[in-house]
Amino acid sequence: MEVEMKIRGLLMDPVTNMPIVILKDVTSDMVLPIWVGIYEANAIALEIEKVTTPRPMTHDLIKNVLVGLDTQVHKVVVTELREDTFYAVIFMEREGRIVSIDSRPSDALALALRVDCPIYVEDEVLKNSKLAANVSDRVSSEELRKWLEGLNDEDLGRYKM
């Protein structure tokens, strides 16, 4: 089963100094942090903040190609968590045919923002990510998760990339 999520914000992991995209369940307070690369975080931040660039960035180019090919993106889904790596699929429709494309979650999220399509996470991923954090020997990971779950709207606005 898929759980609809929204991007709640971007922040820097105080431990690893890597960007984190915070996904939040639209019907509950459950959050899923996904660590992403600097460039991908920048692409997401540009769209969140509605910053226009003089030339199309990679995800803008992808959007433009899809529009040019009369292809609609229906949804993106974070489908799997395997060996601490998240996997995603982009679901598109062209000429009545549904096409699914393997993607990194960061790219799928950056595209979802640009085409304004829903973002989902498989409930198994949510269960496995909690289990992985609880089983992990890294205390900082569990502490970070608790800290992230306690963030409110005001807190998310304070942390910038």
- Which structural domains are found in the chain, ordered by start? 2-158 (3.10.690.10)
pLDDT at position 119? 98
The predicted-structure confidence for 56-103, as pLDDT tens digits, reads as follows 999 999 999 999 999 999 999 999 999 889 999 999 999 999 999 999
Say if residues 159 and 39 touch (Cβ distance below 8 Å): no
- One-letter amino acid at 65 equals V
CA distance 1 to 13: 29
Mean pLDDT of 25-39: 89
pLDDT digit string, tens, across residues 59-72: 999 999 999 999 99
Measured between its terminal Cα atoms, the distance across the chain in Å is: 32
Cα 149 to Cα 7, 31, 108, distances in angstroms: 14, 6, 23
Q: Are 23 and 121 in contact (CB under 8 A)?
A: yes
Give the confidence band of 160 by pLDDT, cuts at 50, 70, 90.
very low
Report residue 121's pLDDT band, with 50, 70 and 90 as the boundaries.
very high
**Rg of the chain's alpha carbons, rounded to an integer?**
16
The closest alpha carbon to 115, from 66, 54, 77, belongs to 66
